[in-house]
Amino acid sequence: MKLPRRDNDSEIPTSSMADIAFLLIIFFMVTAVFSATKGLEFKLPKDDNKPPEQEEAVFVKVAADGSVLVDCRPMELDEILAYLEPKLLRNPEKPVILYTDASAQYKSMIAVYDVLGMAKVETHGYKVKNISVPTQSEVQEYIQLFGFNPFESQCG
Amino acid sequence: MRLKKGTKAPAIIPTASMADIAFLLIIFFMVTTVHEVDRTSVNLPLAQSREEAEKGSAIVVLAKDKFGELYYMFSDGTNMSHTVNGPQDIYHEVSAITYRDSTTQFILKADESVRFELVDELLDTLRKADAQKVLLLCQQATVNRG
């Protein structure tokens, strides 16, 4: 006896593919995080105990309350670059010492460091190349050398 | 004259392209997902002139917990970050890395409200451990155009 032949359509079942795909999407969406991978570059001096070189520098002090003194003059953040411009155009290698009070907030120091880093040759015609941020052990070395903290006594 | 009844079209939502869209989204998330070695939640300070961190940089974290207590974490850039006791531990970890490669970049991820002396202590620790390149991790500050 000849069996009747059934015509079945040959197809790949894809009905659950969308479910799997959306599950994967949900997994990646849940595990994805917004990561901060940018910041301000900071060059540390070598720990070689060399005596400090004597050179006239611009002295920027961040006080405990976050206020800023540039060469002992109180200044707003947006005034700093205008003050530095003629000095750095004359001498592009002029060092800038950024001294922050120990009890000041980290963000106050970053705000000033950020302003110094904003000067670009393309836009401002100069760049602050030599930013020195003395650490406490360096300050101690200066105290041993001079007998007092030159950064604290700088502005009287 | 009586109009003929229209042919009955089945009421279905076309879902043929849904799988394509879903797979495009999957590819997007797969490409953009990065393996992070540190997921500590830190209120970073704001800055405008930021630079991209080098891949594989070691991370030093100084963060505050929900009670305002400070804690330190460290990652060598390949393994997940772990809690360390303080600058002394960080010194040993950093020294081990700089001994192998002195050009390694160290990302300093510190809470914006910590006292500068703590950050200063960490910078001093990194300097003593012969670290040369440090990146102070910051959030993007909105540019004031007013």
The backbone region for A71, taken as left when phi is positive above 0, alpha when psi lies in -120 to 50, beta otherwise, is left
Q: Does pTM surpass 0.80?
A: no
Domain boundaries, chain A: 58-146
Where helices occur in B53-141 by DSSP H, the ranges are 87-100, 116-128
Question: Does some domain include residue B40?
Answer: no
Chain B residue at shortest CA distance from A101: B116
- CB contact under 8 Å between B48 and A113, yes or no, is no
pLDDT at A41 over 60: yes
Question: Does some domain include residue B3?
Answer: no
Interface of A with B in 66-95 (CB under 8 A): none
For the stretch B11-41, what's the b/e string if a residue is b when 16 or more beta carbons lie within 10 angstroms of its beta carbon?
A: eeeeeeeeeeebeebbeebeeeeeeebbebe
CATH of A58-146, one of 3.30.420, 3.40.50, 3.90.550, 3.30.300: 3.30.420
Is ipTM > 0.85 here?
A: no
Residue of B13, B41, B116, B118 for testing the chain A interface, max A β-carbons within 10 Å: B116
pLDDT at A72 over 70: yes
Question: Does some domain include residue B129?
Answer: yes
Question: Does some domain include residue B10?
Answer: no
Domain harbouring B109, CATH code: 3.30.420.270
pLDDT at B118 over 50: yes
Question: Does some domain include residue B24?
Answer: no
- CB contact under 8 Å between B120 and A114, yes or no, is no
What's the token pair of residue B105? Answer: 């970049």
Q: What is the pLDDT of residue B47?
A: 92
Q: Which residue has the higher pLDDT, B125 or B25?
A: B125
Q: What is the pLDDT of residue B145?
A: 45
pLDDT at A52 over 70: no
Average pLDDT over residues A72-101: 90
Question: Does some domain include residue B59?
Answer: yes
Where helices occur in B39-130 by DSSP H, the ranges are 87-100, 116-128
What radius of gyration do chain B's Cα atoms show?
Answer: 26
Give the A:B interface size as CB pairs under 8 Å: 157
Residue A37: pLDDT band with limits 50, 70, 90: confident
How many domains in chain B?
1
Facing residue for B132 by CB, picked from A44, A101, A136: A44
Cβ-based neighbour number of residue A123 at 10 Å: 9
Question: Does some domain include residue B125?
Answer: yes
Residue B116: pLDDT band with limits 50, 70, 90: very high
**pLDDT per position as a tens digit, B57-101:** 999 999 999 898 999 999 998 889 999 999 999 999 999 999 999
Q: What is the pLDDT of residue B146?
A: 41
Nearest to A45 by CA among B65, B127, B146: B127
Average pLDDT over residues B112-131: 93
Cα separation, A131 vs A96, in Å, equals 5
Residue B6: pLDDT band with limits 50, 70, 90: low
Domain that holds residue B62: 46-140
